[in-house]
Amino acid sequence: MYTQSFNVPDGAGKTVPLAPSTEDPALQAAFDARIDADGRIEPQDWMPEAYRKTLVRQISQHAHSEIVGMLPEGNWISRAPSLKRKAILIAKVQDEGGHGLYLYSAAETLGTSRDQMLEGLHSGRAKYSSIFNYPTLTWADVGVIGWLVDGAAIMNQVPLCRCSYGPYARAMVRVCKEESFHQRQGYEALLVMMQGTAEQREMVQDAVNRWWWKCLAMFGPPDADSPNSAQGMRWGIKRVSNDELRQKFVDATVPQARVLGVTLPDPDLKWNEERQHYDYGQIDWNEFWETVNGNGPCNKERLATRVKAHNEGQWVRDAALAYAEKQKARSIKEAA
Amino acid sequence: MKPAIDYLLHLADNALVLGQRNAEWCGHGPILEEDIALSNVSLDLIGQARLLYQLVASLKGGNCTEDRLAYFRDTHEFRNYTLLELPHHGPLSGYAQSSMDYGTTIVRNFLYSALMALLWEALEKSANADLAAIAGKSLKEVRYHLRHSRDWLVRLGDGTDESHARVQAALDHLFPYTQEFWAQSPAEAQAIAAGIGVDVTTLQADWDAIVDAALAEATLVRPPVGGYVTEGKQGIHSEHLGFLLAEMQSLARAHPNGSW
Ligand SMILES: [Fe+2]
Ligand SMILES: [Fe+2]
């Protein structure tokens, strides 16, 4: 799932300098021309260091989001209320792991290893999508995450299929197909629950109430406060602004909520005839930044869980490596 | 019909309980590729369980469904091998907690898959055509599970000193539970008599050969067996199944009239 549609600087909030002024002017000109012509940059092509760094940061944040994103939904696998839903949920969480794999591979083409990226995540330097720092409290959260969180991720990610960096764009094509499948499955699960008991309908409404605003915040701060967006647009890494994407998401979601029979928890949400869009209320950016900066309800739990899995798996990875080396030595000996 | 039902429930419960256990790794694997591989195994097992429960439900008729069978039977009604309900760590009392050990997971998957690769193949000739069809599908899946777990058994056994010690300990812990495979239950005897089931003891020599070859390659020692023979397939379980079911069934039971 789930890139944050904007670049959160990793670390202490310092923005990476973007001016590519020290580079070779001829190479720079060729790169600029390719970008202007909407061409693709491939791993073997020359690229400005700042472009490379921005991409590594964005793609690895995206990969981390996929694997941290396995945790909130994984929380309900053991308790899924039917075998069909259990299978669907395992397959979904597994897909997210697969997205993590494609994205780590895409980032590796830029010269950063998976181990380096994981080290960034585990040390707390690298960010991941903030949406996963909220708890999944009921089974309805699983459906709502599919519908709204995967839904918001699709809005963010479809433009990335045209991203200027080839391996990232190609990974996104595959990812987006699966995300839209997740979105439909989540929505369908909610439709079924809404036709169930009164308690089930309450459960769905409660989950919508808790996730709606967090999903709107997933698109990142308003355009006026997004310093990195302009350079990202110039480089063809970002294609559509945060506010435009958010509006698109709201416009698409309101009719779906109506069909489902839930109320989106925003008294200011109404159709604006003049703009031909839905107006919506104020997002609590304070809460959003608190969570981005590590102080949300589950930040510590999510990160510690990833670190635990990694540390406790060390002996397994060591064994695989040792065995591979032994096998290599044996085959050399045989050949000799 | 009764012998078929008890026998099918045994096969179904095996698949569900191990599927539930393996899914516990989802998001916590030692390496991302293994998260994905174990989720695959788990999905296959839950898929097998569903087909078998659906078959039982159709035999029972009335308003029986796969989910009634999975979510609304109690511990003593489950017919799975005790081996499959154990947590992913060494021997501990039911309510004791411990981190998951990948060696335990791999050893169990190997021991069970080695059996099922033989059993599903034999069940392709079951007198129950539906079961034979499920066996055909499951056989393809279990061959992958066997390859996956065997590869890791060898890697861990012949990897580092630590991995060797861990996987040998897991083998020592789990191997005695395989005695249950060969101790025929009344339900198995009836299913065999009806031509629906297979006499597992006829597969024992082949199982031994698969296990011994893999252990030799993994530089592991086959533990001696003896002592208590578990009786999970007759509904007498370890302390662990109660906790597994309490968690698995909690939501479905909280909303018995819910639709999912
Ligand atoms: Fe994803
Ligand atoms: Fe997704």
Q: What is the pLDDT of residues A134-163, one digit of tens each?
A: 999 999 999 999 999 999 999 999 999 999
Ligand nearest to the CA of A99: 1
Q: What is the pLDDT along chain B (260 residues), one digit of tens a residue?
A: 677 999 999 999 999 999 999 999 999 999 999 999 999 999 999 999 999 999 999 999 999 999 999 999 999 999 999 999 999 999 999 999 999 999 999 999 999 999 999 999 999 999 999 999 999 999 999 999 999 999 999 999 999 999 999 999 999 999 999 999 999 999 999 999 999 999 999 999 999 999 999 999 999 999 999 999 999 999 999 999 999 999 999 999 999 999 99
pLDDT tens per residue across span A74-95? 999 999 999 999 999 999 999 9
Q: How far is the CA of A245 from the centre of ligand 2 (A)?
A: 18
What CATH superfamily is the domain B2-88+101-254?
Ferritin, core subunit, four-helix bundle (1.20.1260.10)
Ligand nearest to the CA of A148: 2
User: In the predicted model, what is the mean pLDDT of chain A?
Assistant: 92
d(CA A181, CA A174): 11
Determine contact, residues A309/B27, Cβ cutoff 8 Å.
yes
The pair phi, psi for residue A85, each rounded to 5°, is: -70, -35
The DSSP annotation for chain B comes to -HHHHHHHHHHHHHHHHHHHHHHTTTTT-SSHHHHHHHHHHHHHHHHHHHHHHHHHHHHH-TT--HHHHHHS--GGG----GGGGS-SSSS--TT------HHHHHHHHHHHHHHHHHHHHHHTT-SSHHHHHHHHHHHHHHHHHHHHHHHHHHHHHTS-HHHHHHHHHHHHHHGGGGHHHHS--HHHHHHHHTTSS--GGGGHHHHHHHHHHHHHHTT-PPPP--S---BGGGTB--THHHHHHHHHHHHHHHSTT---
Min Cα distance A42 → chain B (Å) is 26
Q: What per-residue confidence (pLDDT) applies to A21?
A: 55
Task: Give A108's contacts in chain B (Cβ within 8 Å).
Answer: none
Least Cα distance to A156 among A220, A92, A96, A208 occurs for A220
Token pair recorded at residue B5: 């039902």
Residue of B nearest to A304 (CA): B28
Cβ-defined contact of A319 to B159 (cutoff 8 Å) = yes
d(CA B91, CA B195): 37
Q: What per-residue confidence (pLDDT) applies to A14?
A: 41
Task: Give A317's contacts in chain B (Cβ within 8 Å).
Answer: 30-31
> Residue A220 — left, alpha, or beta (φ > 0 → left; ψ -120 to 50 → alpha)?
left
Is the pLDDT at A212 greater than 70? The verdict is yes
Q: For residue A242, give the 3-state DSSP assignment.
A: helix
What residues have CB less than 8 Å from B86, skipping those under 6 apart?
B21, B104, B108, B174, B177, B238, B240
Token pair recorded at residue B74: 């109690």
d(CA B248, CA B244): 6
Q: Which of B47, B251, B258 sits opposite A79 (nearest CB)?
A: B251
Counted across chains A and B, CB pairs separated by less than 8 A come out at: 151
CA distances for B124 relative to B41, B43, B129, B195, angstroms: 21, 21, 8, 12
β-pair partners for A277: A272
What ranges do the domains of chain B cover? 2-88+101-254
Give burial (CB, 10 Å; 0-12/13-18/19+) of B50: buried
Q: How far is the CA of A5 from the centre of ligand 1 (A)?
A: 14
CA distances for A246 relative to A4, A221, A266, B208, angstroms: 12, 10, 15, 61
CA distances for B127 relative to B59, B142, B163, B204, angstroms: 15, 21, 44, 22
Give burial (CB, 10 Å; 0-12/13-18/19+) of A40: middle
Determine contact, residues B100/B25, Cβ cutoff 8 Å.
yes
Residue of B nearest to A90 (CA): B39
Cβ-defined contact of B255 to A81 (cutoff 8 Å) = yes
Q: What is the mean pLDDT of residues A298-327?
A: 98
Percent of chain A with pLDDT over 90: 85
d(CA B64, CA B62): 6
Give ion ligand 2 contacts, CB < 5 A.
A 1, 150, 179, 182
Give me Rg for the CA atoms of chain B.
18
Ligand nearest to the CA of A64: 1
Q: What per-residue confidence (pLDDT) applies to A18?
A: 45
Residue of B nearest to A201 (CA): B258
Q: What per-residue confidence (pLDDT) applies to A243?
A: 95
Give me Rg for the CA atoms of chain A.
21
Cβ-defined contact of A81 to B23 (cutoff 8 Å) = no
Cβ-defined contact of A323 to B66 (cutoff 8 Å) = no
β-pair partners for A165: A41
pLDDT tens per residue across span B144-171? 999 999 999 999 999 999 999 999 999 9
Q: What is the mean pLDDT of residues A30-48?
A: 93
The DSSP annotation for A39-76 comes to PPB-TTS---HHHHHHHHHHHHHHHHHHHHTHHHHHTT
ipTM over 0.85: yes
Report the alpha-carbon angle B208-B212-B218, nearest 5: 150
Cβ-defined contact of B163 to A322 (cutoff 8 Å) = yes
Q: What per-residue confidence (pLDDT) applies to A8?
A: 54
Ligand nearest to the CA of A101: 1
Is the pLDDT at A226 greater than 90? The verdict is no
Task: Give A94's contacts in chain B (Cβ within 8 Å).
Answer: 26, 35-36, 39-40, 43
Q: How far is the CA of A181 from the centre of ligand 2 (A)?
A: 8
Enumerate the H helices of chain A as residue ranges. Answer: 25-36, 49-68, 70-74, 83-108, 114-122, 139-144, 150-157, 166-194, 198-217, 229-234, 242-260, 285-290, 299-312, 314-335
Min Cα distance B227 → chain A (Å) is 32
d(CA B114, CA B207): 6
Is the pLDDT at A1 greater than 90? The verdict is no
Q: What per-residue confidence (pLDDT) applies to A233?
A: 84
d(CA B244, CA B256): 19
Residue of A nearest to B66 (CA): A83
Determine contact, residues B104/B22, Cβ cutoff 8 Å.
no
Min Cα distance A268 → chain B (Å) is 32
Cβ-defined contact of A82 to B29 (cutoff 8 Å) = no
Q: Which of A308, A317, A326 sits opposite B158 (nearest CB)?
A: A326
Least Cα distance to A155 among A246, A70, A92 occurs for A246
d(CA B23, CA B38): 7
Q: How far is the CA of A150 from the centre of ligand 2 (A)?
A: 5
d(CA B135, CA B125): 9
Q: What per-residue confidence (pLDDT) applies to A234?
A: 85
Task: Give A78's contacts in chain B (Cβ within 8 Å).
Answer: 20, 23-24, 247-248
Residue of A nearest to B20 (CA): A78
d(CA A108, CA A167): 10
pLDDT tens per residue across span A248-302? 999 999 999 999 999 999 999 999 999 999 999 999 999 999 999 999 999 999 9
Q: How far is the CA of A258 from the centre of ligand 1 (A)?
A: 26
Q: How far is the CA of A66 from the centre of ligand 1 (A)?
A: 5
Q: What per-residue confidence (pLDDT) applies to A15?
A: 42
Residue of A nearest to B164 (CA): A319
Q: What is the mean pLDDT of residues A164-176?
A: 95
Ligand nearest to the CA of A103: 1
A277: which DSSP letter? E
Q: What per-residue confidence (pLDDT) applies to A10?
A: 63
Percent of chain A with pLDDT over 70: 93
Give burial (CB, 10 Å; 0-12/13-18/19+) of A19: exposed
Band (pLDDT 50/70/90 cuts) for residue A4 is low
Least Cα distance to A165 among A306, A270, A62, A26 occurs for A62
Q: How far is CA B35 from the centre of its chain?
A: 19
β-pair partners for A318: none
What residues have CB less than 8 Å from A131, skipping those under 6 apart?
A2, A69, A149, A152, A214, A215, A218
Is the pLDDT at A7 greater than 60? The verdict is no
Band (pLDDT 50/70/90 cuts) for residue A232 is confident
Q: For residue A158, give the 3-state DSSP assignment.
A: helix
Q: Which of B26, B34, B260 sits opposite A81 (nearest CB)?
A: B260
Cβ-defined contact of A83 to B67 (cutoff 8 Å) = yes
Q: Which of A71, A77, A79 sits opposite B250 (nearest CB)?
A: A79
State if pTM tops 0.90: yes
Cβ-defined contact of B66 to A83 (cutoff 8 Å) = yes
Q: What is the mean pLDDT of residues A29-49?
A: 93
Cβ-defined contact of A305 to B53 (cutoff 8 Å) = no
